Amino acid sequence: MPNFTITTFDWVPELPRGYVRDIRLRWALEEAGIPYDIELTAFKERENAHYLHQPFGQVPWLSHEDKDIFESGAGLLYIAEHSDELISTENRSSVIQWLFAALNSVEMATLPWTILRFSGDTFESDGGKAIERFLHSRLKHM
């Protein structure tokens, strides 16, 4: 019986569908070979209990034993601490460094671009061009 549980929304609007950050936790648990359950919480009517687990009213949160961990990056580190598959002594600093890079340097640049792209923007506006330049400058050395 799994003792890890990922809580995510019961529904999300079309734009972020498939991009909700619970995919990060699911992927890590799958890679680590750790069984888990999924629980759903209401998207539209978030009750006070939701905010006890995730103070910003977001998802996901990871539950394990008597702990609730919110923020997907924190959940990834927590999962890694329970698996030799994801992080080892030799690569610990590199894994943590790239996790923070993905959540800060990369996502900060890609999220505005993604929102514009899925909203049908052609990147011809001044704002669209600026976001595209920023994204390319951030990723050009990768």
Q: How far is CA 69 from CA 3, 50, 73, 77, 139, in A?
A: 14, 13, 10, 10, 30
Lowest mean pLDDT among 10-24, 58-72, 93-107: 10-24
First to last CA, the chain: 41
CA distance 99 to 40: 26
Of all residues in the chain, the percent with pLDDT exceeding 70 is 99
Please tell me the pTM assigned to this model. Answer: 0.86
Pick the closest to residue 77 from 117, 11, 132, 24 (CA basis). 24
Domains of the chain: 4-81 (3.40.30.10), 92-139 (no CATH)
Q: pLDDT tens for residues 55-99?
A: 999 999 999 999 999 999 999 999 999 998 999 889 999 999 999
Nearest 10 degrees: Cα torsion 9, 33, 1, 39: 0
Q: Is the pLDDT of residue 41 over 70?
A: yes
Q: What is the pLDDT of residue 65?
A: 95
